[in-house]
Amino acid sequence: MTAGDESAVDTRQPRSVPYGSATYLEVMAFLIEEAAILDEDRFHDWLALLTPDVGYRMPVRRTLLRRDGLGHEPGSFYFEEDASSLAVRVSRLTDTNAWAEDPPSRVRRFVANVRVIEGGSDEVEVSSYLLVLRNRWSNPSYDILTAQRRDLLRRMTGEWRLADRTVHVDQAVLGTPNLAIFL
C-alpha cells in the first residue's frame, strides 16, 4: 500500500506467535490454569482472571448448507454476558440455593489446538478447541460439549486477563440439560 492510497487493501495475514515462544507458553499456561480453576469450582478465582470490560458469549448454532454460512445465528445467543452478569452467576453458583448445580457437576475441560495471533503490544487473539466432559449425579455417562473459542487476552499489571470470549459450540442441539457451567 502506498502513502495516500486509501483504496488499497492490506492483504497481509495476521502474524501467528511461534509455538514455544515466551508469549505462546504464557498463553498456554493461562488457558491451562483457567481450566483447572474452573474444574476445581474456584469461581471467584476465575473472576479475577477477567478484565472489567470482559465480554463472554456463545452464539446459537444452526445446521446450514455450506453456501448459507457458518451456522451461527446472528444476534441469538445461549448466553451473552459481561463482568457484572458473570459475577451474579458466580454468586448464584456459590450460594446454598444453587439447585441447578447442587450437588455440583464433575467437569473436565480439555484445551487444545491453541493458536495465538499478535495483537497490540498488550493484547493477543487466541483460538482454541475445547472439549468439556460433564458428569452429574450418579449417571454413568457424560454430557459432552465441543467448541472453538475465540479469545482476546490482555496483559494487565504483567498478567494475562481474559478480555473477550466467544464460544462457537459444535452441536446444533446441546448434549447437556443446562449451561450452568462456564466454558
179 inside domain:
no
Q: What is the CATH number of the domain that holds 49?
A: 3.10.450.50
Per the structure, the count of domains in the chain is 1
> pLDDT confidence of 70, banded at 50, 70, 90?
confident
User: What are the pLDDT digits (tens) for 126-159?
Assistant: 999 999 999 988 888 999 999 999 999 999 999 9
- Per-residue pLDDT at 2: 45
8 inside domain:
no
Which residues constitute the domain of residue 31?
22-169
58 inside domain:
yes
- Per-residue pLDDT at 60: 94
DSSP of 25-85, one letter per residue? HHHHHHHHHHHHHHHTT-HHHHHTTEEEEEEEEEEEE----GGG-SSEEEEEEEEEEEHHH
1 inside domain:
no
pTM, two decimal places? 0.87
70 inside domain:
yes
12 inside domain:
no
45 inside domain:
yes
User: What are the pLDDT digits (tens) for 82-122?
Assistant: 999 999 999 988 887 767 788 888 999 999 999 999 877 79
178 inside domain:
no
